[in-house]
Amino acid sequence: MDGSPRLMAALRFALSMLAPTLVHVRRTPGLALTSLLIGCALWLVVTAEENPTRIDLVSAPISLEAANTAPQLAVANALPSLQIRVSAPIERWNGLTADNFRAFVDLNGLEARQHQVPVRVEVVGITQVRVLETVPPSVTVNLEELQTKSVRVVPRIVGTLPRGYDLGSTIPDRSSVDVSGPKSLVGLVSEAAATVNVTGLTVGLDQVVALTPVAEGGGEIRGIAVRPATARVAIAVRQDVLTRTLPLEVELGGQPAPGYRVAGVRVTPQLVRVEGAIDVLQSLDTLRLPRVDVSGQQADLRATIRITPPVGMVATVPSAVVEVTIVVVPGSVTLNIAPEVVNLRAGLTARVSSGSVAVFIEGPIPRLNALPAGVVRATVNGSNLNPGVTEVRVAVTLPDGVTLREVQPATVSVIVSRS
């Protein structure tokens, strides 16, 4: 009870009428019927107050089906969806769906021609719902002779396999099926298509698919029954192109200039992705670049080399950069040089007791080989020498590009006398 004024007033009225009614029922039997009618009226008032009726269109369209079609006939046209107007208590509307209605046209006794047939609607699975109107109230139904024929089953492939994979055989488990329906539509059917989606497929499989009746141009013919309705299609997929990542390798040709050598080789990128036939790629561990000639090189070499993979293979990048580091080959040479006394004071003369010293020089071989005569000097400083014999350290003067490793002996005896 919601305590509304009208509801409470009705209850009070019923209670006030109850006691007198019981007394008079005993005296007048006909009064019982009157009391019953009053009670029913009161119940209707109370129910309408708490759950009023709503009249409206059902929001979802209702599918229409054909019923009681003669066995030798078939419906040749597509039946439309309906809208229906119903009356129901508000509490029923919340759970009302299209599944609560069965809309049909009764074709019992109708012959093969065009008919205008009224629409009927049954309420299913719910009470207190009444159908007031259907839109449209009737529909056109074309009845034709039912025909059945056999058509071949044809696999139809949709989608794309991943790169490097190829579609092999597609074999259905049955070669033909029966299609039945209106004579005019069955005549349009040329085959039953078994549509298989191979998108992303990398292995073969068996797939059960629905069969679709189609015309010569591939368009679907609706209103046709296919028996059996499905087929199992065996799909073969093979990998015809392989993708691998291989290291790049370069071969050097020739020799650097005398006294120089190759210290290192760098290839950028070091790895490259290639695609090609399986039999070609499986036999490769590296991808070799064309030869780079370093003949006579005295400095670093940088070259852009076009990648030329074997026939049947494609590289994802067109070229690579080859950097060859050239360094000087270190060497050494020994020179026997007679030391010279320099900076001797006036009035003195000097001579070195030993005839020569061995000077060990290191440097690039090309530089050592090109040293001119006399460019390397061995000297002793006589600025502080006095008459007599003195041990003096030998100094060596060198040109740029070479270094002194050792002098033997490191000191020599210098004999000084007055002139």
In order along its 419 residues, the chain shows pLDDT tens digits of 344 455 555 556 555 655 565 555 555 555 555 555 555 445 444 444 556 899 999 999 999 999 999 999 999 999 999 999 999 999 999 889 999 999 999 999 999 999 999 999 999 999 999 999 999 999 999 999 999 999 999 999 999 988 778 898 999 999 999 999 999 999 999 999 999 999 989 898 899 999 999 999 989 999 999 999 999 999 999 877 778 899 999 999 999 988 889 999 999 999 999 888 777 787 888 999 999 999 999 999 999 999 988 887 889 899 999 999 999 888 889 999 999 999 999 889 999 988 899 999 998 888 888 888 889 999 999 999 999 999 999 999 999 889 999 999 999 999 999 87
Residue 305's Cβ-count burial label (10 Å; 0-12, 13-18, 19+) is middle
Q: Return the CATH class of domain 149-240.
A: mainly beta
pLDDT in tens, 150-191: 999 999 999 998 877 889 899 999 999 999 999 999 999 999
89, 189, 314 from 292: Cα distances, Å:
92, 67, 22
162, 173, 233, 401 from 209: Cα distances, Å:
22, 11, 7, 84
What's the gap between Cα 397 and its chain centre?
72
SS3 337: strand
Sequence ranges of the domains in the chain: 5-50, 55-144, 149-240, 242-328, 331-418
In this structure, whether the domain defined by 331-418 belongs to CATH 3.30.1240.10 is answered with no
The CA distance from 399 to 318, in Å, is: 48
CATH number for region 55-144: 2.170.120.30
Q: Give 242-328's CATH code, choosing from 3.40.50.300, 3.40.50.1860, 1.20.960.40, 2.170.120.40.
A: 2.170.120.40
| 55-144 and 149-240: identical CATH topology | yes
SS3 369: helix
The CA distance from 153 to 408, in Å, is: 102
In this prediction, residue 328 carries a pLDDT of: 86
The CA distance from 118 to 134, in Å, is: 10
